[in-house]
Structure 1
Amino acid sequence: MSGLQATRMRLDKWLWAARFYKTRAQAMEAINGGHVRLNGQRAKPGAALQIGDQITVRKPSLRFELTVQALSQRRGPANVAQQLYKEHAESIVRRETEQAARKEQARLNPRPKRKPDKRERRKIIRFVNKYDQESS
């Protein structure tokens, strides 16, 4: 089984080949943690995946709903990996809406332009320690 000729393959290996996770170990951890569903059910990393299966992948603040279009034993370039699945239209709209909301939230809560320097860090530490002592 090489390239795109496979008819069945492991779920963790497909998630790795489709570039949802950098390593198979990360894919296995996500599956075992319940962040990946196969045809609406929790699955094991070694679950047999076929063309046409429905997969839901939850990553921090992102959710992908996919249909498997092809199987690949190899991890190739991103443009090849994107041909392995088709994301549902509702999933794309929901994900883009959530990303826009996160960007708007970040715009409303700006970050400092730079890290505190050594003197400022010491002041922060003193303040926090003083507050901790008063509340105890």
Structure 2
Amino acid sequence: MSEKAEKFRLDKWLWQARFVKSRSLAAALVTGGHVRVNSDRASKASYGVQVGDVLTFPQGDRIRVVRILAPAKRRGPATEAQTLYDDMSPAPEPKAPKIAARDEGNARPTKRDRRQMDRLREKGPNDALE
């Protein structure tokens, strides 16, 4: 006698785990071919996933890799949603501070631009990433 693992809908789990704001956005993410389950592309929102599956999908400007730890019972608070998965994504790279680009016609920086430049000069090149 072998026990069958419980399967649940991929789009519903992504929504309940709070990776997307709505279930329709989760379905669009899956049907658009952007989600991989155990390195296989999922093409239907009703794709069956189970505990132990590894999902790979884009979120914002990074790629998320998560392992499903538990099925979702409801769309609860974020602290509850974080117990549903193990995040295996690499840490995002720190972003460099943005410096306002000046047009050729505007030779003088504004007061705000001047303060930003002064802050960057005080910190040094390696301190700007913190």
When the two structures are superposed, what TM-score results if normalisation uses the length of structure 2? 0.68
Higher relative contact order (CA 8 A, sep 6+): 1
The answer to whether the 8 A contact 1:14-1:73 is kept is no
Structure 2: 5+ residue runs without aligned partners? Answer: 103-130
Name 2:13's counterpart in structure 1: 14
> Shift of the alpha carbon at 1:29?
0.5
Name 1:76's counterpart in structure 2: 76
Distance 1:109 1:85, change over 3 A: same
> Shift of the alpha carbon at 1:67?
0.5
The answer to whether the 8 A contact 1:52-1:68 is kept is yes
Name 1:110's counterpart in structure 2: 100
> Shift of the alpha carbon at 1:60?
3.0
Name 1:134's counterpart in structure 2: none
The answer to whether the 8 A contact 1:13-1:73 is kept is no
Taking only aligned residues, the RMSD between alpha carbons, in angstroms, comes to 1.9
Q: Where do 1:45-124 residues align within 5 Å?
A: 45-88=45-88, 91-93=89-91, 96-97=92-93, 100=94, 103-104=95-96, 107-110=97-100
Distance 1:80 1:108, change over 3 A: same
Among the aligned pairs, what percent are the same residue? Answer: 40
When the two structures are superposed, what TM-score results if normalisation uses the length of structure 1? 0.65
Aligned AA for 2:100? P
Name 1:40's counterpart in structure 2: 39
Work out the CA distance in 1 between the residues paired with 2:75 and 2:69.
Answer: 15
Name 1:128's counterpart in structure 2: none
The structure with the largest helix share of the pair is 1
Aligned AA for 2:15? W
> Shift of the alpha carbon at 1:108?
3.5
3-state secondary structure, aligned to 1:92: coil
Name 1:31's counterpart in structure 2: 30
Structure 1: 5+ residue runs without aligned partners? Answer: 1-5, 113-136
Work out the CA distance in 1 between the residues paired with 2:100 and 2:39.
Answer: 39
